[in-house]
Amino acid sequence: MNFDYAKDSKEQRPFEYYFKKYQGMDPAEISERTGIPYDEENRYFILRLMGSTYEISYPEYEIRHREDAVGSYPLETAMNAKILALRYLVEGNRAPSAGEYLTYREVPWGEFYFRNFQGRCLARLAFGYGTKITRFQEIMEHLGANKLDLGDASYEFEFMNDLFVRFILWEGDEEFPPSSQILFSDNFPIAFSAEDMAVVGDISIGLLKTLEKQL
């Protein structure tokens, strides 16, 4: 694995820590625990993220997307996405969803980290797209997200294998600014911590911003 970021990066140490653990683990155990399929013959995991399918090699942790129409692949380019996926492979656990959705405040430690999440994700989503509803819809349709009947515009998408997120927008007017809500499928707290779930928001909104420039 080639580290393509500065040696003083705050992401270097956590990445190297989890990468070392990943190299020493049994891929069959990882697959059983996380539900991420593993191709034994070709030695890679098959992970879905934001509408695209990736092959993640073991033990090298080299990442390659399978060709599709999305056009942007954060798991190959964004270090926060690489670390998040690596953490899930090393520490995550799968659990079936009961079909319910949670606000960030409802997840363990969500209330404690909510102020950070509000500025980092909710405000960014609201002020990024609350006045550009049509553009938001175009991007979400491009990702293959499922349209919902919530707020002024809303979509559900699979963030990672069997872990779903809902983005809901309310358009602003002369009296009120735009607002947003982000909901997580109820199996998210088994897979990720509250801190990681804020990164999920970061990655998801970051992909929308990238696609907005490309479409």
Of 3-12, 24-33, 39-48, 179-188, least confident by mean pLDDT is 3-12
Instruction: Give the burial class of 63: count Cβ atoms within 10 A of its Cβ; 0-12 exposed, 13-18 middle, 19 or more buried.
Output: buried
C-beta of residue 126 within 8 angstroms of C-beta of residue 180: yes
Q: Around Cβ 58, how many Cβ atoms within 10 Å?
A: 21
Higher-pLDDT residue of 158 and 175 is 158
What residue has token string 């983005």?
A: 167
What letter would DSSP give residue 27? H
Cα radius of gyration rounded to whole Å, the chain:
17
Render pLDDT for 109-165 as a digit per residue (tens, 0 to 9): 999 999 999 999 999 999 999 999 999 999 999 999 999 999 999 999 999 999 999
Render pLDDT for 74-98 as a digit per residue (tens, 0 to 9): 999 999 999 999 999 999 999 999 9
Mean of per-residue pLDDT scores for the chain: 94
3-class DSSP string for 95-132: CCCCCCEECHHHCCCHHHHHHHHHHHHHHHHHHHHCCC
CA 20 to chain centre: 23
Give domain limits for the chain.
12-91, 101-214
Q: CA-CA distance, 31 to 213, in Å (whole number)?
A: 36
Render pLDDT for 1-14 as a digit per residue (tens, 0 to 9): 444 544 446 678 89
